[in-house]
A and B are shown apart, each in its own frame.
Chain A
Amino acid sequence: MSDAAATSPSASMTGWGRFRRNRQACLGGAFLLAMAIASGVALPWSLAWFDVENLATGVRHAPSVKSVTPEEPLDRAVGNVPTALKPLGSVMRGAASWLGHDELGRSLVFRLALGLIVSLAVAAGATATALILGTLWGATAGLLGGRTDLLLMRVVDVLYGLPYILMVILMKVALTRPLTAALGGRTRYADLVILFLAIGSVSWLTMARVVRGLVMSLRHEGFVEASRAMGAGPVWIFRRHMLPNLVGPVAAYASLVVPQAMLQEAFLSFLGIGVQPPLPSLGRLAADGVQAINPFVGFWWLLVFPCGLLALMLVALNGVGEGLREALDPRSTRKMLA
């Protein structure tokens, strides 16, 4: 069922080849890369400028090529920019008005740039949480089997029976105080950590099922039986024989968790319990932009750009995820997921 040599160079070459032949995945990957580089380069400025307000002239200012933000507060806010990026300063200042301004006169370009990174960070954190929890749980169940397996999987079944949105809300609410205290009261960062822990802690269930299924099937492979016959312990077998075979399918599944986590963050923002202001995220900006959908006023840029970027990011992430799955794991996870 699963090719034991998934990690050998030739096999991964075919994987890469398969990925490269997938046009959607390549386009998505290119888009992601471009966005990551662009927002990465802009990071020093977006960190400095994302909450520079301009109440006097810039409130809900439409996109324009000419800058409406006075230069002085922007210059004052700029902190440490790496020397290599310094020459970009004037371009950045000019870019501040390209996509318009929000209700406090803050530049949408830089809020989007930072929001992209925040969203990606939350999604990545959530995926990592799900990955670690799910792999540990699933592998334990699959390896030990028997009673333990039954018990662990029953827990997963129970948690499946709970609506995930309830879990996320209650996790978020319950975790906030202890974690903020644990992180030394640095609320802004504590908040992000809580957010991805909460999202991650509801996304690990499927991961656990996938990993358990894989481990179970691997247990009956000849090479595992052979090493068990030679007296190898379960931990050794897991590390030596199973882990290499798990990497592909698990990575493929994980790449599909990323866009889901991003969408969940957007939904939490819509409820007002996502990323807290002034920090932006794509979901937060999109949820704020929904107010533009009305017959009276059109702050279309506050809706179109965040939503557009969010949708494109999700399309790209989904494309790459699908591509990865087809490349690394043509059969097995699809069966598990179903």
Chain B
Amino acid sequence: MMRMIARRLVLGAATLACVYALTFLMVVSAPGNPLQTSERNLAPEVAAALRARYDMDHNGRYFVQLLLGILRLDFGPTFQYPDWTCNQILAQSLPVSAMLGLVAILLAVVVGVPLGAMSAVRGRGWASGLGLSLALAGVCVPTFVTGSCLLLVFAVFLRVAPVGGWGTLAHLPLPAVTLALPFVAYVTRLTRAGMTEALSQDYIRTALAKGLPRRQVVWKHAFPVAFLPVLTYLGPATAQAMTGSFVVEKVFSVPGMGQHFVNAALNRDPGLLIATVLVFSAMVIAFNLIVDGVHVCVDPRLRSRAA
């Protein structure tokens, strides 16, 4: 078990190194000047001074300098916000995104799993119908539409929530629900599919034939197996949700991290882009590791193999 974890960690580090190199290559080779931050053209001598100041006059050197910084966990400056360092930006925005994303994912589990399971167990019925329509709405309406609609109805017409911003509990529900919808949809679908399949297995039929209560069979025998695909999905999904969403942050004016992915890419801001991408990748790797660990604990087949 420990050896597996160690191996995964080494692999993860290698992956991060590749991600760094790839991101660097992409952002440096994309057209557009990261140093121009206003609408005015940058004079050549000013551009030269800025390149010298930020170590960008030589791409090879820049690659090394950035990497040395990152190894010291210092992601360096960003050009879009010259008064802040990437570290400060991450420190201020990652907790916001993480909180929002975690709530959204938990919502997805709390709502999606029971809905999906019930719609599989009961077949047709209101639960099934609700589950299906939620699942469909979540994947079929773009978040920028749902977010704007929620904001207008709950914040402006009903005045039960503040219009955007961050800091208190009241700021949380609207963006969390908007962010959760696609995840709810996916979790519902996966649970439903897994449950349907699990219920058609021979051992379930055997258990039922033995006369065990249906409730117990469904929840004790079928559900743990049906939940495995959901668990696998939740790994990368949690990483994704916790690193923020551009649309939700823009519509609800949430100071999270998702906007920096998009803005840094659009602004070709190498420092901030690499910082956000590495955080994202590290989270993906970490959550995959956690999920695999949970897999081992939950799945009896794997448990016996690991032991």
Contact = CB atoms under 8 A, between A and B. Distances in A.
Interface of A: 154, 157-158, 160-163, 165-166, 169-170, 173-174, 176-177, 259, 263, 266-267, 270-271, 273, 283, 286-287, 290, 293-295, 303, 307, 310-312, 314-315, 318, 334, 337-338
Contacts of B233: 338
A10 B151 CA distance: 53
25 contacts: A154-B18, A158-B22, A161-B19, A165-B246, A165-B265, A166-B265, A169-B262, A169-B266, A170-B30, A174-B29, A176-B31, A263-B142, A271-B246, A290-B148, A295-B152, A303-B145, A307-B142, A314-B139, A315-B140, A318-B136, A318-B140, A334-B197, A338-B194, A338-B228, A338-B229
Interface stretch (B35-43, B210-218, B277-285): B277-285
B15 interface: yes
Contacts of A166: 23, 261-262, 265, 273, 277
B277 A174 contact: no
A311 B140 contact: yes
A174 B27 CA distance: 9
A contact face: mostly helix, strand, loop, or mixed: helix
Contact of B145 (A160, A174, A307): A307
A161 B232 CA distance: 15
Contacts of A295: 152, 156-157
Q: Which residue, A160, A165, A170, A295, has most C-beta atoms of chain B within 10 A?
A: A170
B46 interface: no
Interface of B: 14-16, 18-19, 22-23, 26-27, 29-32, 136-137, 139-142, 144-145, 148-149, 151-152, 156-157, 190, 193-194, 197, 228-229, 232-233, 236, 240, 243, 246-247, 261-262, 265-266, 273, 276-277, 280-281, 284-285
Interface secondary structure of B, over-half rule: helix
A173 B267 CA distance: 11
B142 A293 contact: no
A24 B61 CA distance: 58
Contacts of A294: 152
A243 to B, nearest CB: 27
Contacts of B190: 338
Contact of B232 (A263, A307, A338): A338
A267 B248 CA distance: 12
